[in-house]
Structure 1
C-alpha cells in the first residue's frame, strides 16, 4: 500500500509539472512586445501595447496641433482581440512633449472605448503613458510613442520572426 501511494504521488507530481510547463508555454504564446505590435496593423489605425491581460490601442489625431483640442481614444481588448467593456473602469493618459505634460481623464464610451480631449502636437516627440483600472482588477499601465517613426529593418525583422515562429491562438 505504501509503495502504491509513493508511485501515485510521483505520478501526480509529474503530471502537475507537465501542466505547469503547458501553462508556461501557452502564456508565453500570448506575450507580445512593442516590436511585434509595431509590425502589425492595429484595428483602428492607432498604436497597440499590451499590459497584463489587456491590449490597449491608442488613437490620436494625425495632424493635431496644440492650437486646439483633439480626440484621444483608447480601445481595450483581450489577447484574442475581443472587446473588454470599459464601463466602471477609470483611466487617464499622461501626454509628454518636451517640457509640456498633459493629463487627460478618459471616460468610458461604447463597449470598449475610453475617450477624452487634449491639445497636443501630432509629432514624433509625443510620448504617452496610460493608467487603466478595471474595477477589482488593479491598475495596468502602458507606454506609447504613437507618432515616432518605426524603423523599417526592425519592423521587418520583427514581422518575419513573428510570422515564422509566432503562434497566436484566437
Structure 2
C-alpha cells in the first residue's frame, strides 16, 4: 500500500510541475518559432506576431500561430478568430482567417508601440473560443518581442 501512496505522490508532483511550466513567465522565456509572444489558451498555445513598433499604415498585419503544448502545429482550417488591440488610447479589432497549416491572419489599423495589449480569441472548427492575453512589446528576459 505504501508503494501506491508513493506513486500517487510522485504523480501529483509531476502534474503540478507541468501546470507551472505553462505560466506567462515560462512561455516568455521560450524561443518562439516565428518571433512572436507565446501564451497558453486552453489546450493550445497561441503565438502572436504583430507589426514592429513605429510601423504605420491602414492594414498592419496580425498573425496567430496555433500549436499544442508540445509545439505540434494545430490545423486552423475552418477556424475563426479576432484580435482586439489596445494602444495609445485606441481600440481596434482585427478579424482572423485561416492562412496556412496552423496560421490565422488578418490586418487592421493599430499602433504598434510599447504598452500595446492584445486579446486573441480563436474558435477551432466550431469549438468554443479560447482566449489569451498578450503584451507583445513588454521587455522580457532582456529583449522585446
State the TM-score bracket (shorter-chain normalisation).
0.7 to 0.9
- Partner Cα separation in structure 2 for residue 27 and residue 107 of structure 1: 35
1:41 aligns with 2:31: yes
Q: How many residues are aligned here? A: 139
Structure 2 residue matching 1:83: 3-state secondary structure: coil
Match of 1:3?
none
The answer on whether the counterparts of 1:49 and 1:55 sit within 8 Å (CA) in structure 2 is yes
Work out which of the two has the higher radius of gyration on C-alpha atoms and give 1 or 2.
1
Match of 1:90?
80
Structure 2 residue matching 1:62: 3-state secondary structure: coil
CA shift, 1:99, in A, is 2.3
Match of 2:89?
99
Of Structure 1 and Structure 2, which has the larger fraction of its residues in strand?
A: 2
Q: TM-score, normalised by structure 2?
A: 0.82
Alignment root-mean-square deviation, CA: 2.5
CA shift, 1:151, in A, is 5.6
- Partner Cα separation in structure 1 for residue 123 and residue 11 of structure 2: 29
1:61 aligns with 2:51: yes
CA shift, 1:76, in A, is 0.1
Structure 1 residue matching 2:25: 3-state secondary structure: helix
1:25 aligns with 2:14: yes
1:131 aligns with 2:118: no
For structure 2, the 5+ residue unaligned runs are none
Stretch of structure 1 that moved more, 97-106 or 61-70:
61-70
- Partner Cα separation in structure 1 for residue 118 and residue 35 of structure 2: 16
Residue of structure 1 aligned with 2:112, choices 119, 122, 147: 122
